[in-house]
Amino acid sequence: MTDPRERPTLLDSAGRIRIEAVNLLSMAEMSSWLAKVLLGDIPTIGADRDESSVDLLVRTYHRLDPWVRHTLHDVLLGLLTDLARGLDRDGARWTVVAAENLLLVVASVVRGTPSVQAAVDLLRCIVTAAPGGAHDDTVPVFALKCLVALDHRAPPEFWLSQFERRGVPSAGPVLRGMVRWDLDIGFRWIADHAGDAAIGAALRASLPLLVDRFGPAAIMGHLAQLAPRLTGEGRAALAATSRALRLSELPEPVTAARAGVDVAGNRSELAQDPAVPWIRYLADPHLLHEARLSDASDPAELRTRLAASLRTIDLAVDRPRHVRALLVLAHLLLDPVELRGAVERLRAWCAGDAELSSAKREALVAMFEELDRGPATPLSFEFHACAYLLRNKRRNVAAEFERLAAGLEPGVET
Amino acid sequence: MLQSWAEHDQCAVRLLLHRIMGESVVHDRMFHNLLAESQFSAADIAELLELLHALAAQGASIDEVCGRLREFCTASPSGTRRTLRGRRAQVGAETLGRVMPLSTFARLLVRARYHTDEEEAQFAIRAMLGARPEDYTIDWRSYPLGSYAIWSTFDEAGGRPFGDDLPSAAELLERLGLEPKYDGDLLLVLEYRLPADVTSRVPSFCDAYVGREWNAWFRVSAHEAPFGRTRPVGAREARGAPEVIHDVITASALAAPIHYRV
């Protein structure tokens, strides 16, 4: 219960928060007051009509003396610690709404201050908290958003693991986190999920910010590459957003001839700069198909280099696009030995995963469908069958790999 | 309201309220509004009386009284909500309007899961500034313009809510009884037409005190008043602007480009 003697001093005669009174609060008093406001234990007096407690606190923060703001940062870090500790405990005092309030305040006032790193450490504790806690995924996803708001730069593996764990609700922060790391990587991830409506919506929502940060030319370049992979609806929505932002028109779906030109450009780049990571090539099965079809000049060299890359892919990293690239490459090489090696590695990757995670299953289905659409080979039927069985969750995937591997035994034409 | 009660009821409640009204200006205003509210039904009054009696008898703390009153404002025991239940307002204008700081609107969109963070939302909103509503994308049209309920104003003479020449941010905030924004924030000015299925109502005590955020400026409307009135911040003697409340609407209702004042 609040000491009634404290509260009138926080308000002036008109009912507004007296900044000078807040400036004089001790750290303990400020912590107590802030927690009660965020938890809804006391009315947030002094707010505007439909202003939330977060709006009031942020507005108050901007009027505080600079050294008091530092105290407020420390208080917020203390409350974040409390939230992180209580996340997996029943009966924790932070309700979802209160936790969101706290995270919104942290996102608004801690960014760009010396307290950022401490806040990031605590937020990462929250997002890696054991699943199935009292808050389910709502608070961890909001903590992810808070990490984005604090401009946290984490490698793609971190964001991908969060997406695999938390699914669609995390699409927005994962997209932003990936792009923050590397724009190309971010857009490749989007391309890998081009049919996902939530990721499409997240892309459109972030577009004005991305255009501001990376420039219209860079963003339009990526959108042009992405457009052919989108569903009709997704493409129309993206085109409408880019028009509203006064960006140039999205191009029509890429033709084979046009893709061939792009591939040639990429190959030329690769030839000139051996340091260019192969993964840029590997991530795009469409380009690889086109590369094979349009590559009449020096197929031997391309195959040699692709085969070398194939053997270096580390499946342990567990990136869906690596997996997909692995089989696409092997398929392109049309080399039974390489293909058998790839399939065996995939089988090992899936070993012990009787119930595939949805993300892994989705990645595999996409891979087999991609292969199925590729140049016809004696394995095409296997690809088609694997995609069908995985999509319909009919069989354990390990059995399908057994069948696939059996089709590659010596003596079978490939 | 109190005048219609029996004398012993009045005494018990007055003793309870006397203790609480000294708590702060905002509490004081809240209880004046409670006593002056003319939109309570007979059933509301009976329940309120019972509640206040019980709180007085048990010597409830101020926080407890406030919390129970918030619960009262939320819904009746039968589950019927008490908010947005005031009289239908008589709005003599085609368009209504509201103002909102950019940062507040951005956080609203983050909370409503439209955007990842405030910065992203601010960029999206800035991209809308000045654009014609008919050019909005489907995504933008779905943006809510408030949360829970929307407080709104209009021009009594039937014109645009803030006139053809927009006043400064300070003037707008003062007229509407809103707190000053902080430096660097923009004040957004929204003009919209209410969709046919949304009714504007005279704001009631329950509309003002159902949330956890209370302001000192709300006052209940006079008996049978056609709409509420804001309480200007700087000049209390000045006439406030008309004020109504209605359900949350989306940006698809906007009737003019979003303007802003610094």
Residues of A whose CB is below 8 A from B119: 149, 209
In tens, the pLDDT along A174-210 reads 999 999 999 989 998 998 888 888 999 999 999 999 9
Q: Which amino acid is at B122?
A: Q
Is A49 within 8 Å of B107 when comparing Cβ atoms?
Answer: no
**B242-255 average pLDDT score:** 96
The segment with the largest mean pLDDT, out of A163-172, A223-232, B213-222, is A163-172
Q: Which amino acid is at A152?
A: H
Separation in Å, CA of B50 to nearest CA in chain A: 23
Is A244 within 8 Å of B120 when comparing Cβ atoms?
Answer: no
Do the beta carbons of residue A138 and residue A96 sit within 8 Å? Answer: yes
In tens, the pLDDT along B42-67 reads 888 888 888 888 888 888 888 788 88
Could you tell me the pLDDT band of residue A295, with boundaries at 50, 70 and 90?
very low
CA closest to B150 among chain A residues: A50
Give residue B29's pLDDT.
84
Range of lowest pLDDT (A16-30, A249-263, A375-389): A249-263
CA closest to B124 among chain A residues: A208
Mutate to test the interface with B, among A36, A39, A48 (most CBs of B within 10 A): A48
Is B216 within 8 Å of A14 when comparing Cβ atoms?
Answer: yes
CA closest to B131 among chain A residues: A244
Q: Print the SS3 string covering A324-381.
A: HHHHHHHHHHCCHHHHHHHHHHHHHHHCCCCCCCHHHHHHHHHHHHHHHHCCCCCCHH
Q: In whole angstroms, what is the distance from residue A145 CA to residue A382 CA?
A: 41
B157: helix, coil or strand? coil
Give residue B157's pLDDT.
93
**Angle, nearest 10°, between helix axes A66-86 and A96-109?**
140
Provide Rg for chain B, Cα atoms: 20
* pLDDT of residue B232 exceeding 90: no
* pLDDT of residue B206 exceeding 90: yes
A44: helix, coil or strand? strand
Separation in Å, CA of B221 to nearest CA in chain A: 15
* pLDDT of residue A128 exceeding 90: no
Confidence (pTM):
0.73
CA closest to A9 among chain B residues: B24
* pLDDT of residue A358 exceeding 90: no
Is A43 within 8 Å of B118 when comparing Cβ atoms?
Answer: no
Could you tell me the pLDDT band of residue A342, with boundaries at 50, 70 and 90?
confident
Do the beta carbons of residue A224 and residue A251 sit within 8 Å? Answer: yes
Residues of A whose CB is below 8 A from B188: none
Is B139 within 8 Å of A62 when comparing Cβ atoms?
Answer: no
Is B212 within 8 Å of A146 when comparing Cβ atoms?
Answer: no
Give residue B243's pLDDT.
94
**B129-154 average pLDDT score:** 92
Range of lowest pLDDT (A107-116, A312-321, A324-333, B82-91): A312-321
Separation in Å, CA of A255 to nearest CA in chain B: 28
Give residue A265's pLDDT.
42
Percent of residues in chain A assigned helix, strand, coil, to nearest 5: 70, 0, 30
* pLDDT of residue B37 exceeding 80: yes
Could you tell me the pLDDT band of residue A411, with boundaries at 50, 70 and 90?
very low
**A107-118 average pLDDT score:** 93
CA closest to A105 among chain B residues: B107
More confident residue, A161 or A47: A161
Q: How many angstroms separate the most distant Cα atoms in chain A?
A: 93
Q: CA A378 → CA A186, A294, A371, A408, A414, distances in Å?
A: 35, 21, 12, 10, 6
Of B29, B62, B104, the CB nearest to A55: B104
Give residue A110's pLDDT.
95
**A291-315 average pLDDT score:** 58
Q: In whole angstroms, what is the distance from residue B249 CA to residue B252 CA?
A: 8
Of A45, A52, A58, the CB nearest to B24: A45
Q: In whole angstroms, what is the distance from residue B4 CA to residue B18 CA?
A: 19
Bridging pattern class, strands B96-101 and B187-192: antiparallel
Note which residues in 25-84 of chain A have CB less than 8 A from chain B: 40-56, 58-59, 62-63
From first CA to last CA, the distance across chain B in angstroms is: 43
Could you tell me the pLDDT band of residue A80, with boundaries at 50, 70 and 90?
very high
Range of lowest pLDDT (A398-407, B125-134, B148-157): A398-407
Give residue A85's pLDDT.
85
Do the beta carbons of residue A174 and residue A160 sit within 8 Å? Answer: yes
Note which residues in 223-282 of chain A have CB less than 8 A from chain B: 237, 240-241, 244-245
**A87-115 average pLDDT score:** 85
The overall average pLDDT reported for chain A is 75
* pLDDT of residue A129 exceeding 80: no
Separation in Å, CA of A214 to nearest CA in chain B: 13
Q: Print the SS3 string covering A186-205.
A: HHHHHHHCCCCHHHHHHHHH
- State ipTM: 0.87
**B147-155 average pLDDT score:** 92
**B138-167 average pLDDT score:** 92
Q: How many CA atoms lie within 13 A of A184 on its CB side?
A: 7
Nearest to B242 by CA among B213, B211, B221: B221
Could you tell me the pLDDT band of residue A285, with boundaries at 50, 70 and 90?
very low
Is A55 within 8 Å of B107 when comparing Cβ atoms?
Answer: yes
Beta-ladder partners of B246: B150
More confident residue, B3 or B93: B93
Range of lowest pLDDT (A40-49, A92-101, B138-147, B191-200): A40-49
Which pair of structure tokens corresponds to residue A307?
């085969």
Q: Does A96 touch chain B (CB under 8 A)?
A: no
Return the DSSP state at B184.
T
Provide Rg for chain A, Cα atoms: 26
Interface A-B: count of C-beta contacts within 8 A: 164
Residues of A whose CB is below 8 A from B32: none
Range of lowest pLDDT (A135-144, A305-314, B78-87): A305-314
